[in-house]
Structure 1
Amino acid sequence: MKKIRICTIGAGFFAGFMHGPVQRALAQRDPALELAAVCDLDAVRAKTFAAATGYRNWYTDFREMLDSERPDGVVLLTPVTATAAVGSAVLAAGYPAMLEKPPGRNRAEITALIRASQQGNAPAMVAFNRRCSPLLTRGMELLKQEAPKEKLEHIRCDFYRNERFDADFSTTAVHGIDAVRHLSGSRYARVDFHYQELERDAGQICNFFLTGTMTGGCSVQLSFCPSTGAALERFTLNTRSLTVSVESVPPGGGCDFPGRIFVYRGGKLLRIEAPPAHEFDREEFYLAGYYQENCRFIERLREGFPPENDLKLSLEAVEIADACRRRVPLWTAETVRS
């Protein structure tokens, strides 16, 4: 098996909570995978992350790390405010990278990343982990299995969080926006937005409600509510005669942990399924798709990346999330192209 050396940039809380344990588990099972080095501006964080995950070296300057280590691939786990700049430097230097989502905040930042990828002839993979969710993957399998000749007509996506007062909740909403695009198998044609501004003791929040249509004809409805009594992510998929409802697992586990899938036909419940069996099927990093996306990145480093540019594929979700951030009332593909 081809030996692969990876470096990670960013050793903050989320890196240590999700990606670090995954990388450690993969390296323990794959003798041809080397965790070469990790970099963080905070030396203590970098050193602690390296010790916890098994990385050989640590740095506080990512350029120095890349020059010294010459990895086969880079995992970029920086805050979204830094991802475009750091990611562009990594890609332009010729290093394939997996970028934590969202890879940028707007079209300009994604365009810069695409240019850097082309300049360095380095492919990029965007770590939209819901694309790799075992529960959503199984839900789509059941839809095709139970209604093989029926078109997907409607998707509903609900993201609820408990007492989240992020200055910018669109960077969470982008995950659901991309997941719906992935599930529908087509692009967004039109999205209408409704915003509900609310006061809380800890500050102001805004609920985002999106309704839209996909180019494949499917209608969609998305709700993103940062301050509720629940922490959950649920997806409902409808064909003419079948409904598949997925209780997915967000980071932190959420209220539906470890998740379930419900299948309905004729007004009756056909079946309930637990998550697909796996050695890590009680771990959040597996149920939320982080394990699978890291596996996919390493596989692509060994076997090659698909011809479709993942940054271009992610651009639409970033644009729609940016529309939420700017409180835009309407997004259409035609408006973007013009």
Structure 2
Amino acid sequence: MTTKLATVGCGEHATGSHGPAFALYAARHPGTRLAGCCDLDPGKAERYRAQFGFARAYTDMRKMLDAERPDAVSLVVPVERTGELAGLILEWGFPLLLEKPPGRTVAEVDRMIAAAGGIVHQVAFNRRFAPLVRVQHVRYEMARVDRRDPDFSTTAIHGVDAVRFLAGSDYAEVRFRYQPLAGVGPGVVNVFLDAVMESGVTAQLGFCPLAGVVVERATLHARDHTFELHLGIWDSVDAPGRVRHFEHGRLHREVAGDSVAERDAPFVHGGFYGEYESFLVALREGRPPSPSLEEARQSVAVMECMRERRNEYHA
């Protein structure tokens, strides 16, 4: 059985993470056909096609979908366009894997949920599919270098969602604290979150866009047990990452990222390959992929609070 795939968006992020995942999936699953890739920039579309093995390049999304009739579509575009384009793809009836955040506001997500109806879809929260995250299932720390974005929330949503997944529970309430970075740029802040999950687990999150190092780390404390997760994504000093499990004050188990990842590559360690495999296996087996837009909704709600500099979130 042949599975035809198409993708919309051939920019830097798509080229660095999604394209390699497509190519590896197609190599491992001989029935996969990379039918078409689309970008408004014809040069980007053609380079993406040639680099990752797609059959044809397009500059018009509707023309590509009408011509190829793919079994599934991947959408990797700026967040400002995600809601509009995802809504169209879902309304046209194509199963969809869409980049996160799936929208800038809860209202945008709700419109996509309405457009989806019963169409199969998955939000690409890749941290959920990072091999090390799958090993252990919460203080979460995200630091970047020289990120002067006035709105860092669309990056911070990765950590917001990862804590929900690691804790196995939704947020009950969150309190926000903002630390303006004077002289750096308008709206640039460090953001710290104290959260209580519905399960009673407490979590602390810190998002520091102008730190001296790129890291994503989580600490989970339970009775007599502590888990430390260092994700080895991008150019992190923690690459390829590790998980350490302490019990009664002693190291019980340590797992290195390169021992659980099938390939020592950033797009594998970061969960990009895993999210494609999870989505396409679910599609093939006729079961709902996860996380859906409904499941992603709360992560967007917390992100929206952060962008609007609110002090509290209550479920």
1:14-93 matches, within 5 Å, as 14-93=13-92
Instruction: State how 1:123-202 maps to structure 2 within 5 Å.
Output: 123-140=120-137, 155-201=138-184
- Counterpart check, 1:296 vs 2:278: yes
Query: Deviation string for 1:77-105 (max 9, x for gaps)?
Result: 01100000000000000001000111101
Contact 2:131 2:271 in 1 (8 A): yes
| Equivalence map 1:243-322=2 (5 Å) | 243-250=226-233, 252-275=234-257, 277=259, 280-306=262-288, 310-322=292-304
Structure 1 residue 22 displacement after superposition: 1.1
1:111-126 to 2 correspondence within 5 Å?
Answer: 111-118=110-117, 121-126=118-123
Distance in 2, Cα, partners of 1:270 & 1:126 = 34
Distance 1:204 1:25 in 2: 40
Determine the C-alpha separation between the residues in 1 that align with 2:119 and 2:223: 43
Per-residue Cα deviation, 1:197-251 (whole angstroms, up to 9, x for no partner): 103556652111011111111111110000011100001111110001011123x
Contact 1:132 1:289 (8 Å CA) reproduced: yes
2:210 aligned counterpart, secondary structure: coil
Q: Equivalent residue for 1:107?
A: 106
Give distance in 1, aligned partners of 2:212 and 2:186. 16
Structure 1 Cα separation of the partners of residues 290 and 243 of structure 2 = 30
Distance 1:201 1:182 in 2: 33
* Corresponding residue for residue 314 of structure 2: 332
What amino acid sits opposite 1:39 in the alignment?
C
Distance 2:280 2:114 in 1: 23
Measured against aligned partners, the alpha-carbon deviations of 1:283-307 in whole angstroms (never above 9, x if no partner) come to 1111111111011121122112328
TM-score normalised by the chain length of structure 2: 0.96
Q: Please give the secondary structure, in 1, of the residue aligned with 2:18.
A: helix
Q: Note if 1:227 corresponds to 2:210.
A: yes
* Secondary structure of residue in 2 paired with 1:199: coil
CA contact (8 A) 1:123 1:309 kept: no
Structure 1 residues 327 and 203 mapped into 2: Cα distance closer, same or farther (>3 Å)? closer
Q: Structure 1 stretches of 5 or more lacking a match?
A: 141-154, 334-338
What secondary structure, in the 3-state scheme, does the structure 2 residue paired with 1:136 have?
helix
Contact 1:4 1:301 (8 Å CA) reproduced: no
CA distance, structure 2, for counterparts of residue 110 and residue 98 of structure 1: 14
Q: CA RMSD in A?
A: 1.6
Query: What residue number does 1:13 align with?
Result: 12
Aligned to 1:85, the other structure's residue is in SS state helix
1:237 is aligned to 220
Q: SS state of the match for residue 257, structure 2?
A: coil
Alpha-carbon contact 2:122-2:289 (below 8 Å) kept: no
Contact 1:134 1:276 in 2 (8 A): no
Q: Percent same amino acid among aligned pairs? A: 39
Structure 2 residues not aligned, in runs of 5+: none
Would you say the 8 A contact 1:244–1:262 is kept in 2? Answer: yes
